[in-house]
Amino acid sequence: MPNLKSPSHRRIGLLGGSFNPAHAGHREISLAALARLDLDAVWWLVTPGNPLKDPEEYAAYDQRLHQARAVANHADIVVSDFEQRRGLQYTVDTLDQIKDANPNASFAWLMGADSLVNFHRWKNWRRIAELAPIAIFNRPDYGEKALKSEAGTTLAPFRLAFEDGDLLSHEPPAWIFFSDTNNSLSSTALRGAKP
């Protein structure tokens, strides 16, 4: 196991998504992850397209990337076009390639509780859970639904209490649920509010 506290070994949180548009909720959970997981950085992986979402609803990729960089506005939040450059669409493939490309880093996957509700619909979701520990951040009205979801119940034996220690020191599958985050912002609602 690599020395996770070595200065040459970086600790990175990965927040994937459409960022259609990026908003303060993305930034809030990124800042929480930096502090609570003792990360060196959070990388926002702006997807060229989510297979579970309607492509007609997407703003242009360059527009989403530019807007995400404006919202991130933090030295330790890096907005990346990794998936676009590599022609990737599925998280399982992104994790495989990002780990191969960065052997001196340890990664945690970050997501909101709303994503855990549908996690069982992601391609090879069990494999994703084996590739990186996961930090899940609560959203209004999603906590119980997330924990009782297919993925939540399947992965329940691997859930850690925050007191169990450093998430990145645990071999996956391992996950933490932060129940005290509760940002109500959503990209869907923001798109719907536009004239």
String of DSSP letters for the chain: ---TTSTTSEEEEEEEE--TT--HHHHHHHHHHHHHTT-SEEEEEE-S--TTS-GGGPPPHHHHHHHHHHHH-STTEEEE-HHHHHT---HHHHHHHHHHH-TTEEEEEEEEHHHHHTGGGSTTHHHHHHHS-EEEE--TTTHHHHHTSHHHHHSGGGEE-GGG--GGGSPSS-EEEETT------HHHHHHH--
Task: Give CA separation, 18 vs 22, 45, 46, 50, 57, in Å.
Answer: 8, 8, 6, 7, 10
pLDDT at 38 over 90: yes
Mean pLDDT score of the chain: 87
- The CATH fold of domain 10-193: Rossmann fold (3.40.50)
Extents of the domains making up the chain: 10-193
The stretch 38-45 carries a mean pLDDT of 97
Between residues 186 and 34, which one has the greater pLDDT?
A: 34
Percent of the chain with pLDDT over 70: 85
The stretch 152-159 carries a mean pLDDT of 97
The stretch 139-151 carries a mean pLDDT of 91
What whole-number distance in Å separates Cα of residue 124 and Cα of residue 116? 14
pLDDT at 139 over 60: yes
pLDDT at 4 over 90: no
Residue 180 confidence (pLDDT): 81
pLDDT at 7 over 80: no
What whole-number distance in Å separates Cα of residue 89 and Cα of residue 56? 16
Residue 133 confidence (pLDDT): 97
Between residues 193 and 97, which one has the greater pLDDT?
A: 97
Give 159-187 pLDDT, tens digit per residue. Answer: 998 766 689 999 999 999 998 877 554 44
The stretch 51-69 carries a mean pLDDT of 84
Q: How confident is the model at residue 113 (pLDDT cuts 50, 70, 90)?
A: very high
Residue 49 confidence (pLDDT): 79
